[in-house]
Amino acid sequence: MSERGLKFQVAVRASAGGAFTFDIFTVSGEPRTLQVNRQLYATPADAARAGYEALAAKGLQTPDIDEARPVSGEVELGVFLPLVLVGNVIAAIVVWHAVGTLLG
C-alpha cells in the first residue's frame, strides 16, 4: 500500500518499567500502524521527539505541520492562567453567597 497522500501521527506509550516508546500510525485513509518502536526513552517528550524525527526521516506528512510537535506534558501558560482565574472567580462567588447566607 502506498503512503502517498496519507497523514501520520505519533502515539507515545508508557512501558511497565516507567520508560516510554512511540508508534507511528495513519490518521487519514485506512487506519493502520506503520511503525512500532521498541527503543525506550526516559520521558514522553523524548519518545514523541524521536517519533516525529522518524516521520520526518521517512518524508511522511502529519495532519498539520504546525501541530506536529512533540508534546511535553506541560500545561501551557495561555491555558493555565484563565483556568485559575475562572476557578478563583467561582470560589469567590460561592464564598460570597455562603457568607451572605450566614449573616442574613
pLDDT tens column, 2-40: 555 678 888 888 888 888 888 888 777 676 777 777 788
pLDDT tens digit sequence for 39-55:
889 988 898 889 888 88
8 Å CB contact between 20 and 12: yes
Pairing of strands 8-14, 33-36: unpaired
**Cα of 103 vs its chain's centroid, Å:** 47
Where in the chain are the domains?
A: 1-72, 74-104
Q: Is the pTM of this model over 0.75?
A: no
